[in-house]
Structure 1
Amino acid sequence: MSKAYKRMVVVGGGAAGWMTATALATAFPGSSVELVESEEIGIIGVGEATFPSIRNLHKLLDIDEADFLRATNGTYKLGIEFCNWRAHGERYFHTFGDFGALSGPLAVWGQHRRVADPALGPLGDQCLPSMMASQGRFQLPSDQANAFNYAYHFDAVLYAGFLRTLALKRGARRTEGRIVDVARRADGGVARLKLADGRTIDGDLFIDCSGFASLLLGRTLEEPFVDFSHWLPVDRAWACPAERTGTALAPYTRATALEAGWAWRIPLSNRTGHGHVFASRYIDEERARDQLLAQMDGEPLAEPRLLRFTTGHRERFWVHNVVALGLSSGFLEPLESTSIFLVQSGLGRLIELLQPGPAPTAQMVSAYNTSMARQFARIRDFILLHYCLTARRDSKLWRAMSTMELPETLAFKIHAWRQAGVLHQYDEEGFDATSWLAIHAGMDHWPDRADPSLRDMPPDTALRGLHLRRDQIASTVAAMPTHDDFLRGVLARRGLNN
């Protein structure tokens, strides 16, 4: 790795801290990686739903899937079911799969709307993982013809512990202690940390994973915060685990829109994670707590815990010799399960810049900051899309979200879709065009006019093709095991070899 950063210090444990320590120890074997955390402070861990990119991280870290699932009470995730977002009683699915071609005469969504045959069923029947989710089935992708993506649900506290064991085996060191002071260098960077018992920890590069406290980047370096709450006004969350009911394990997350926010449901193998994300300007905390408890489908296993936050990010993510990852760098509400994705994205870029050679230049650091800021903004826009297309007018939140002035980047995307059916993509996108299509379709938001190229295919040909695609998908799904059976099989089979 770069000689300028021989000693790397990770501040804070939790998922972000131990992801960072594990990745650095794996990428730079023999290097000095030290993680400082305090048992007094604890970590924020409320159950985690993830994005498919986590599988790429696990592959790079050589993590066995079954070992990971067993250690974290994990389950599989095919996407997110959204309930009551467009209107009460309506639901749609954001899939991790695809709908075939997205443009031209072979565009599945375009031909599906053009032929408008009720016998075809919903557009989701043209997508393999959407049908799998609706029937509670799962198996790993088998070949290119049966390809789809998937992610996981897991216990975030157990995940941090799982990664901690892995990081320590690969040479990282853990130091227990509460940081009480931060010494600065002459150039403004961080020189060392002072712990409550008087010990000091020197470093060349400090990775701030201290959560909402943002101990180094926010509190010490006083990096300004870019506030997104004008567009994303939710600023509180009640979280509470519940007993797992006798119902089958759903291979998807559920997000149910409520009066002033939305409730999550995350199925783990041993319990169910529940939470209510809400805007305190539109509902008081106790009423929001009551609405969470009313949503829960099992007995609470603990008292609901309240989290307070502001959506947005630090103006810069890398300042002097401090890089922030996770909550210390910023936060976007967990509607699309992007928290770990953003850690992974920043971590991947960081590791690229720490490869052997001279220290990253000021231009490289600036490019890092620009890329991360753009990614936060792109994901902000995607989350906001769920809110701004609503037909609901039954509460102050939904009325406000339906009429707000949108960021220019999102306004242009919506314009391009409405006018020409174009799913425009910027650089640093967090979600591909298929994901944007899933939200537009789910919210019944369609272009004002059809693509003329759709008429290049005769209607009867398009209809036969759509029926064939749907029937092939239905046949494939019918042969799959249930999610419960598949998960039990994976864990039992691998468990015999441990």
Structure 2
Amino acid sequence: MSQKFQRIVVIGGGSAGWMSAVALATGLKERVSVEVVESEDIGILGVGEATFPSIRNFNQLIGIDEAEFLRATHGTYKLGIRFCDWLDVGSDYFHTFGHFGTLSGSQALWAQHRRMALAEPLGMQCLPTVMAMRGCFVLPGDQAEFKYAYHFDAVQYAAFLRQLAMRRGASRTQGRIVDVARRADGAVTAVLLEDGRRIDGDFFIDCSGFHALLLGRTLAEPFVDFSHWLPVDGAWACPCERRGDGITPYTTATALEGGWAWRIPLQNRTGHGHVFASRFIDVERAREQLLARLDGPAVAEPRLLRFKTGHRERFWVHNVVAIGLSAGFLEPLESTSLYLIQDGIGRLMTLLSEGRPLDDEARTDFNEGSVRRFARIRDFILLHYCLTRRRDSELWRHVASMPLPETLAFRIELWRRYGVLHEYDEDGFDASSWLAIHAGMAHWPEREDPVLTEVPRQRALAALQCRRDAIAAAVERMPEHHRMLHHVLTARPGRSR
């Protein structure tokens, strides 16, 4: 590691702050000191989290036992997302973390499925989609055809990581930051607290949320605004009582008049929220629509969150790197917030661990990689909007006609004309995920590849039937999600995966 940084200060707690701290304390051990500065007066944003499968990799790398984690955070398993009313009112499809067999050539199952003009959804060819439809769950084996993620309480996750990070040597300072000290060259040297304390550091990680205390307010790094593509700018969040034993192993995202509503099932409650665009719907009307969707009695007053989609031009400036909301925000439609946090931490840890000089070149590589990752996920989220057939409100008329980023327009054109699922470097979502959205939104290529006819029709139909039957038989033997979850939570230590 570069000897320039001996003391790393993390500004802000929450998921971003304590994920950063525990990664540093675990990966760098005695080589640096790690101090987290957070204020309980400010609190954290956490409203419940639906996640991406990469969160499992993060938890495993820092040595978290899955059952312990699920117990501490009231967590449940997540196979993917169910999208309701996105194509048309009454439509329904899943994007789960699985695949659809071969994706290219004459054996491409999706293309043969389309060629056969089958009435059943393509999702019947995807194991975790059928699992989700039937409310089942098992932990995948070594040759698994799917991945999984979690739903959990973000506040409890931050508290869980805080205890772990402090056991591994990180320190915690409570206090409100009122000023920032800098050198003549612009680098930050310390933060000053309301009670007069001074916290010095060599390197600072800004996890201060939308405030972006260091990167935004102190270093005045400009913001790249995505709101002309992603117009949502607010969300109401409200948990309610969970009713009955059934816990769906998926998030639900339902398109509404001025945005969309989430439903995230936890062990002890169900999280609900309404992400909306205030230029297309009144804030109070959005609140009323959320409350009308609750599964049971609310257990807290609805919270209003305001935001702007986009990111800072640079994520790392001088000796400050932003992680989490201080770096940028993309609406939570595909549960990528923690993925972006984890990705930033992972790339930073690689630099710190390998001892590469943390110079202008390293910062440029980090910044350019971050910008690309935000752009790739932005395009994937936009795909859900731009393929809609809905014209029943101002929002849906707007998103159906708005100009698209060139990167997304190119991918859509390749698919529409030639059935090619183009992939870029540093994509957050693979070709199977893009296929799930195209299929769910009934967006198919304009013509079939002639090579498909090399497979006789009956053989193609038999292959589709065989895979569908094998999936159905496998799911038939699986336990319901809540039963599997109970088994994991009550297993003896060391037996959970």
User: What TM-score comes out, normalization by structure 2 length?
Assistant: 0.98
Q: CA deviation at 1:205?
A: 0.6
**Which amino acid letter does the alignment assign opposite residue 268 of structure 2?**
N
Q: For residue 93 of structure 1, give the secondary structure of its aligned residue in structure 2.
A: strand
1:443-458 mapped onto 2 (5 Å cutoff): 443-458=441-456
Aligned to 1:127: 126
Q: Indicate the larger mover: 358-367 or 89-98.
A: 358-367
Equivalent of residue 422 in structure 1, options 414, 420, 423: 420
Mapped partners of 1:165, 1:300: distance in 2: 30
Q: CA deviation at 1:116?
A: 2.2
Unaligned 5+ runs, structure 2? none
Aligned to 1:16: 16
Q: Is the 8 A contact 2:245 2:482 kept in 1?
A: no
Aligned to 1:168: 166
Aligned to 1:343: 341
1:17-416 mapped onto 2 (5 Å cutoff): 17-30=17-30, 31-118=32-119, 121-144=120-143, 146-246=144-244, 248-357=246-355, 359-416=357-414
Equivalent of residue 464 in structure 1, options 432, 457, 462: 462
What CA deviation, in whole Å up to 9, does each residue of 1:295-344 have, x standing for no partner? Answer: 11111001100000000000000000000000000000000000000000
Mapped partners of 1:393, 1:21: distance in 2: 46
What CA deviation, in whole Å up to 9, does each residue of 1:64-119 have, x standing for no partner? Answer: 1000000000000000000000000001100100001111011110011112244x
Mapped partners of 2:28, 2:407: distance in 1: 38
Q: For residue 130 of structure 1, give the secondary structure of its aligned residue in structure 2.
A: helix
Q: CA deviation at 1:495?
A: 6.3
Q: Is the 8 A contact 2:51 2:339 kept in 1?
A: yes
Mapped partners of 2:381, 2:355: distance in 1: 39
Mapped partners of 1:20, 1:357: distance in 2: 18
What CA deviation, in whole Å up to 9, does each residue of 1:262-281 have, x standing for no partner? Answer: 00000000000000000000
Q: Is the 8 A contact 1:4 1:358 kept in 2?
A: no
Mapped partners of 2:116, 2:355: distance in 1: 59
Q: Indicate the larger mover: 354-363 or 446-455.
A: 354-363
Mapped partners of 1:213, 1:90: distance in 2: 38
Q: For residue 224 of structure 2, give the secondary structure of its aligned residue in structure 1.
A: strand
**Which amino acid letter does the alignment assign opposite residue 456 of structure 2?**
P
Q: CA deviation at 1:186?
A: 1.6
Mapped partners of 2:495, 2:469: distance in 1: 39
What CA deviation, in whole Å up to 9, does each residue of 1:8-39 have, x standing for no partner? Answer: 00000000000000001111001200000011
Q: CA deviation at 1:357?
A: 3.0
Q: Is the 8 A contact 1:66 1:494 kept in 2?
A: no
Aligned to 1:492: 490
Equivalent of residue 440 in structure 2, options 439, 442, 464: 442
Q: CA deviation at 1:358?
A: 5.2
Q: Indicate the larger mover: 353-362 or 49-58.
A: 353-362
Q: Is the 8 A contact 1:73 1:269 kept in 2?
A: yes
Q: For residue 492 of structure 2, give the secondary structure of its aligned residue in structure 1.
A: helix
What CA deviation, in whole Å up to 9, does each residue of 1:364-414 have, x standing for no partner? Answer: 210110010011011001001000000000000000000001111100000
Aligned to 2:3: 3
**Which amino acid letter does the alignment assign opposite residue 349 of structure 2?**
I
Percentage of pairs with the same residue:
67
Mapped partners of 1:313, 1:361: distance in 2: 22
Mapped partners of 1:190, 1:56: distance in 2: 32
Mapped partners of 1:491, 1:355: distance in 2: 35
Q: Is the 8 A contact 2:99 2:145 kept in 1?
A: no
Q: For residue 191 of structure 2, give the secondary structure of its aligned residue in structure 1.
A: strand
**Which amino acid letter does the alignment assign opposite residue 248 of structure 2?**
A
Mapped partners of 1:414, 1:147: distance in 2: 26
Q: Is the 8 A contact 1:3 1:358 kept in 2?
A: no
Q: For residue 343 of structure 1, give the secondary structure of its aligned residue in structure 2.
A: helix
Q: For residue 153 of structure 1, give the secondary structure of its aligned residue in structure 2.
A: strand
Unaligned 5+ runs, structure 1? none
Q: For residue 149 of structure 1, give the secondary structure of its aligned residue in structure 2.
A: coil
Q: Is the 8 A contact 1:6 1:204 kept in 2?
A: yes
Q: Is the 8 A contact 1:52 1:150 kept in 2?
A: yes
Q: CA deviation at 1:363?
A: 1.1
What CA deviation, in whole Å up to 9, does each residue of 1:144-203 have, x standing for no partner? Answer: 1x4310000000000000000110011111111111100011210101010111110111
Q: For residue 468 of structure 1, give the secondary structure of its aligned residue in structure 2.
A: helix
Could you say if the C-alpha distance between residues 313 and 496 of structure 1 is closer, same or farther in structure 2, counting changes exceeding 3 Å?
closer
Q: Is the 8 A contact 1:34 1:173 kept in 2?
A: yes
Q: Is the 8 A contact 1:231 1:384 kept in 2?
A: yes
**Which amino acid letter does the alignment assign opposite residue 189 of structure 2?**
A
Q: For residue 10 of structure 1, give the secondary structure of its aligned residue in structure 2.
A: strand
Q: CA deviation at 1:497?
A: 8.9
Structure 1 residue ranges (4+ consecutive) displaced by more than 4 angstroms after TM superposition: 495-498
**RMSD of aligned alpha carbons:** 1.2
Q: For residue 491 of structure 2, give the secondary structure of its aligned residue in structure 1.
A: helix
Aligned to 2:476: 478
Mapped partners of 2:257, 2:116: distance in 1: 37
Q: CA deviation at 1:355?
A: 2.0
Mapped partners of 2:268, 2:291: distance in 1: 19
Q: Is the 8 A contact 1:101 1:108 kept in 2?
A: yes
Q: Indicate the larger mover: 284-293 or 350-359.
A: 350-359
Mapped partners of 1:298, 1:446: distance in 2: 39
Q: Indicate the larger mover: 452-461 or 399-408.
A: 452-461
**Which amino acid letter does the alignment assign opposite residue 27 of structure 1?**
G
Q: CA deviation at 1:246?
A: 1.5
